[in-house]
Amino acid sequence: MKNTVLKICLALGSWIYTFSSFAQSNVDTLPQLDEVDIVKAYEPILISSNKVPFGPNLPNIVKTKPDPQTYSYSDVKGKISYNPEDIKPIKTAGKKPEKNQFFYAKIGFGYPLTPLVKLIITNPIQTKYRAGLDADFIMTFKNKKEFQNYTDFKIKGFGEYFIKKKASIGGELFYRLNQHNFYGYSDIISNRDSLKTNFNRFGGAVKLRGIEEADYYYNGEVNFTSVINKNVFHKPKELTIGVNAEGGYNFKKNYWLGVKLNVTNVSYKDNYQDTTFFAFLNNQNHLTLQAILYGKIKFKIWTLMAGPNLIVTNRKFYVLPEIVNQLQIYKDYLVMYNEWRTQVKINSLNNLSLENPFVVTDNYNNSIDETRTIIGLRGSIKGFGYDVRFSQLVSRTNAQFVNNVYFPTAAPIVEEISAGVQSVNNLRAWNPHIGISYNKGNQFGAKAWFDYFIYNKNTSLELSYVPSFKAGFSAFYNWKEKLYVNIDVTGQSKVNAIQRNYDDFGGILLTQNTVKGLVDVNLSANYFITKNIGIFVDLNNLGFQKWQRFYRYPTYSFQVIGGVKLSF
């Protein structure tokens, strides 16, 4: 199971510091270079390869410049990041009053019609507590309804209180509205209003973490997310409640014993008026539990963490090994790492709709377990970094998107078209990866990477939106801390889109359609007039390439957004 709790809690504690440097240096327009995370490690993009890893026709407004290659690991006090020349342990909460950045705003407008607002407000001095508001808004308009009109609005309130420098307790509440059009279907659905699908999400979390200098360590989180979806076909509701925790003890400095716990319950309810035997599928409740008992040892250049991974999901019980091994063969220039991890993914309406907002499903396998085995070499010297790895993923119930076409036999005989989900059992994937990078301080940085994917399924009708390779290049240039220029190029091979035609008589016909490969080129420039005021311009789809995120969902147009950034 991925160590999400530790990352979330530590990210919460360092939010203001992170965003202060993020806004003042104005470097939020390029994907960050991958960190080398020794505990979490590089994860091969396998399951998530059933989606194109960037939004349809929209800029990613939460990006950072590529950083020098760093090594990160989870020690007693939390996550520690360092490079070969500079080791910096994590800082505990407030030793002296320090004024942090308390206001950040990014306001822009673009063509096609696209307003954009990003806003963060928080308290400037954070020795005893921190609290604030984080908001995002972006919307696009196009005259032709067969293309996408999109709205994304997010607002989150957050806070954290430090208890005598020993622990911190915090929480957050958020609301998010996602509105999309069933674009690409104008020849079937003629009513413009009926093309819309809305996702209303509301959620929150309460978090606790220890921050004192002690041999024991602990953190925990209780969270929930509710989703209400309104679309052409039905109105499902879903509630997810999760509990994450970790605790442990460090003795004799180089030995650890600990436990990680994750409990997730998903409740799903649909409004289908189904009177058949399968009506029970309209109401589902699924509980998943994962517990990892681990021991860790650090001896000179060798670090090993191992223990049993106990999983209860889909009414099945597994006991699998959890192993993380690292060997610094030659300083930080040549590091060997290998892992065997098992995580549980939740195929909830919330998670699936974030990958494909057009998904319509009244029945899905809520959780799957994925076993990942990774072996690789990495290192960095004088600004140059490399990472070469080979990984295998075994997925017992993998969710693949399919295009559904329903032909009703009773009047009115109008096709219903939507994106659904099919399950592929016992999927295995192999992924060789290579990445190289160069970084010259804060002045220049670049990275190139390549992934190749091999699957055990020999029939393409079982794999949809899965590419055989992906590649990318990103770079930034900083001129005198005034002008920042970033370029981002991402590409992938063609994919197969599976279309499932069915009617009231139970007949199902599977057909295969090809969605051609794509190359997405984006360019951003940021210029700071003063230390606190800057202007920016983002250019997306510079190649004017016509491509589809999903079959019959066209996404091709040039987009430009410009505006101002403020930070105080």
d(CA 132, CA 144): 39
* pLDDT at residue number 260: 96
Residue 7 host element (H or E)? helix 4-13
pLDDT tens figures, 338-353:
999 998 888 889 988 8
Angstrom distances, CA of residue 265 to CA of 217, 240, 261, 353, 543:
26, 6, 14, 18, 44
CATH of region 4-567, choose from 3.20.20.190, 2.40.50.1040, 2.40.170.20, 1.20.1260.10: 2.40.170.20
User: To the nearest 10°, the Cα dihedral for 523, 528, 532, 537?
Assistant: -30
Identify the pLDDT of residue 56.
33
Per residue in 75-122, pLDDT (tens digit) is 333 333 333 322 222 222 233 344 567 888 889 998 888 898 989 899
User: How high is the mean pLDDT of the chain?
Assistant: 76
pLDDT higher than 50, residue 526: yes
Alpha helices in 389-443 (DSSP H): none
Taking only the tens place, the pLDDT of each residue in 206-238 is 999 998 888 999 999 999 999 999 887 788 899
Per-residue pLDDT reduced to its tens digit, 48-58:
222 222 333 33
Query: In terms of pLDDT, which residue wins out, 31 or 245?
Result: 245
Mean pLDDT along residues 536-544: 84
CA distances from 334 to 19, 340, 440, 550 (A): 32, 21, 20, 41
pLDDT digits (tens, 9 = 90+) for 474-502: 998 989 888 989 898 988 899 999 998 88
Check whether 191 has a pLDDT greater than 90. no
Tokens (6 digits) for 362: 């009244």
Position 510 scores a pLDDT of: 87
| 520 pLDDT higher than 70 | yes
pTM above 0.75, yes or no: yes
**Does position 165 have pLDDT exceeding 60, yes or no?**
yes
Task: Please report the pLDDT score of residue 193 as a whole number.
Answer: 58
On the CB side of 234, CA atoms within 13 Å amount to: 15
Question: Is residue 409 over pLDDT 80?
Answer: no
Q: Span 263-286, mean pLDDT?
A: 74
Residue 16 makes CB contacts below 8 A (sequence gap 6+) with 100, 101, 122, 126, 130, 132
Higher pLDDT, 420 or 264: 264
Residue tagged 């409004």 (tokens):
271
